[in-house]
């Protein structure tokens, strides 16, 4: 079996690209090739490459662009696991974006959104129809499309509004928190927002007529700047739903020497803070840093609650009871 040319051997590619590279037609049916869709090949030896897979489709149809959950993944916007791309095949799917009933993971066209590439054409054009693709027609305005390394897709702001037609409210807020998150601390590099909150608000205000905009407008009021991870967003929303005092992301605590300590979530009124501890907190180096931080927070008169994935798996009541207990010890009447 002859090796593929270097320019296409390590990524998904369109069949016409192989012809230009001098690859015989029979080579494209070898056992080391996936055939996810008509005219597209993926070498089994290459790793996951969603942008390259979208480009291979665009090479066959320059009018299409990535949208919805596919555009979100390319932009790096966090999605729930059920919406992340899983290239396990599937027949042709056509979908017109429709509002999703609240509380449900997906509408009638999005029962398994992660199984498909979500590709669109502008309103009035034919729906993209091919295996492994969920096709859409979207109303596109000036500025709604961007190009990244030759790949056309909906902008971050437009993508977030479109996600309002696919995601339940909490997941839409998680995505929005990640988009607007920005902060500058005394350590590390400043974090720059994908889209500043004021700019996102302006975009949503002018997005009348786009499916998902009604839910996006409600979600805007729930977004907060400074969140570092999806679990922090989910934890904050969980506490809000329980009626606890509001916790601010990236909350500053001044230690006894007036030096800043940054906590994941903080309630200054009752001097209570929460740290969400992911896997990176298990390293000896991070545990030493955490212990020093914890002591400074305690000495400053704050009470700290540490939450991890195991706590979250126990359910909202477990987490809320721990935070409620800390707040009461700090003077919250409950």
How many residues comprise the chain? 334
Secondary structure of residue 40 in the 3-state scheme: strand
Question: Which pTM value belongs to this model?
Answer: 0.85
CA separation for the pair 314, 192 (Å, rounded): 34
CA separation for the pair 196, 265 (Å, rounded): 20
Closest of 115, 166, 172, 112 to residue 138, by C-alpha:
166
Q: Give the confidence band of 105 by pLDDT, cuts at 50, 70, 90.
A: very low
* pLDDT for the residue 3: 85
Q: Give the confidence band of 38 by pLDDT, cuts at 50, 70, 90.
A: confident
* pLDDT for the residue 132: 86
Sign (positive or negative) of CA dihedral 194, 198, 204, 206 = negative
On the question of pLDDT at 97 being above 50, the answer is no
On the question of pLDDT at 113 being above 80, the answer is no
Secondary structure of residue 164 in the 3-state scheme: coil
Q: What tokens does 262 get?
A: 């940054």
On the question of pLDDT at 106 being above 50, the answer is no
The hierarchical CATH code for the domain 230-329 is 3.40.960
Region at 305 (left for phi over 0; alpha for psi -120 to 50; beta for the rest): beta
Residue 131 DSSP one-character state? B
The domain locations on the chain are 6-47, 65-220, 230-329
Closest of 149, 130, 161 to residue 64, by C-alpha:
130
């Amino acid at each position: 079996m002859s090796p593929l040319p270097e320019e296409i051997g390590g990524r998904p590619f369109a069949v016409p690209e192989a012809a230009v590279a001098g690859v015989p037609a029979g080579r494209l049916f070898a056992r080391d090739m996936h055939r996810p869709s008509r005219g597209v090949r993926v070498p089994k030896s290459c790793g996951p490459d969603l942008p390259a897979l979208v480009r291979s489709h665009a090479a066959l149809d320059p009018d299409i662009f990535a949208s919805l959950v596919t555009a979100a993944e390319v932009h790096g916007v966090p999605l729930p696991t059920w919406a992340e791309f899983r290239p396990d095949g599937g027949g042709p799917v056509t979908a017109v974006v429709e509002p999703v009933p609240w509380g449900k993971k997906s509408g009638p066209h999005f029962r398994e959104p992660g199984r498909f590439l979500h590709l669109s054409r502008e309103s009035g054009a034919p729906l993209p129809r091919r295996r492994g693709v969920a096709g859409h027609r979207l109303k596109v305005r000036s500025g709604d499309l961007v190009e990244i390394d030759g790949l056309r897709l909906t902008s971050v702001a437009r993508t977030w509004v479109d996600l309002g037609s696919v995601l339940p409210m909490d997941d839409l807020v998680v995505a929005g928190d990640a988009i607007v998150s920005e902060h500058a601390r005394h350590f590390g590099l400043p974090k720059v927002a994908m889209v500043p909150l004021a700019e996102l608000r302006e975009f949503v205000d002018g997005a009348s007529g786009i499916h998902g905009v009604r839910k996006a407008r409600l979600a805007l009021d729930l977004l907060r700047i400074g969140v570092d991870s999806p679990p922090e967003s989910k934890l904050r929303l969980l506490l809000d739903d329980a009626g606890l005092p509001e916790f601010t992301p990236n909350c500053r605590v001044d230690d006894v020497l007036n030096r800043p300590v940054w906590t994941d979530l903080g309630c200054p009124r009752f001097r209570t803070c929460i740290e969400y501890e992911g896997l990176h907190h298990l390293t000896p180096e991070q545990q030493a840093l955490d212990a020093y931080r914890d002591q400074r927070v305690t000495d400053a008169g704050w009470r700290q609650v540490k939450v991890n994935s195991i706590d979250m798996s126990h359910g909202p009541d477990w987490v809320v009871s721990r935070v409620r207990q800390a707040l009461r010890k700090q003077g919250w009447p409950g």
